[in-house]
């Protein structure tokens, strides 16, 4: 099944199969598209980096494991903990940093073409894949 076929809704996609198709951390794969949005899955472990999406919200669903999301905004800094099966939306313009203390898997919902590092223009660490998402193979 090609990504294009799946994106058009002709075949169902098992998230477990999608996640089993790659090993790279912090390197999301596009599972399907909904209107002008990508549905991406990623394996995560450790800390990501602080970043912000000025023009879009970012939706997280924890598929496996547990993920913390540190947040900074005009109200200050706080962290939300997302156990397996939890969802959270980071509002546009909110600086945030996902953290997985153990191996975890997440599903993201973002406008097609959204860069994983948001509007960050500083040096990006080697372990971070600054991408708009990779095709699911």
Domains of the chain in start order, with CATH, are 14-123 (2.60.120.10)
For 64-119, write each residue's pLDDT tens digit.
999 999 999 888 999 999 999 999 999 999 999 999 999 999 999 999 999 888 88
Beta bridge partner(s), residue 99: 47, 68
Length of the chain: 137
How far apart are alpha carbons 37 and 108 in whole angstroms? 10
- The structure's pTM equals 0.88
Q: How far is CA 94 from CA 17, 48, 79, in A?
A: 32, 15, 12
Q: Distance (Å, rounded) from C-alpha 57 to C-alpha 76?
A: 18
The tens digit of pLDDT for each residue in 17-48 reads 999 999 999 999 999 999 999 999 999 999 99
């Amino acid at each position: 099944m090609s990504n294009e076929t799946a994106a058009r809704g002709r075949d169902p996609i098992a998230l477990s199969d999608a996640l089993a198709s790659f090993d790279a951390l912090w390197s999301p794969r596009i599972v399907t598209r909904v209107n002008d949005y990508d549905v991406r899955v990623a394996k995560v472990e450790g800390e990501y980096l602080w970043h912000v999406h000025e023009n879009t919200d970012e939706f997280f669903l924890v598929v496996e494991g547990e993920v913390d999301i540190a947040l900074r905004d005009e109200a200050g800094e706080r962290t939300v903990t997302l156990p397996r099966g939890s969802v959270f939306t980071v509002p546009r313009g909110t600086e945030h940093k996902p953290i997985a203390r153990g191996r975890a898997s997440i599903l993201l919902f973002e406008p097609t073409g959204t860069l994983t590092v948001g509007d960050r223009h500083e040096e990006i660490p080697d372990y971070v894949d600054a991408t708009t998402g990779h095709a699911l193979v």
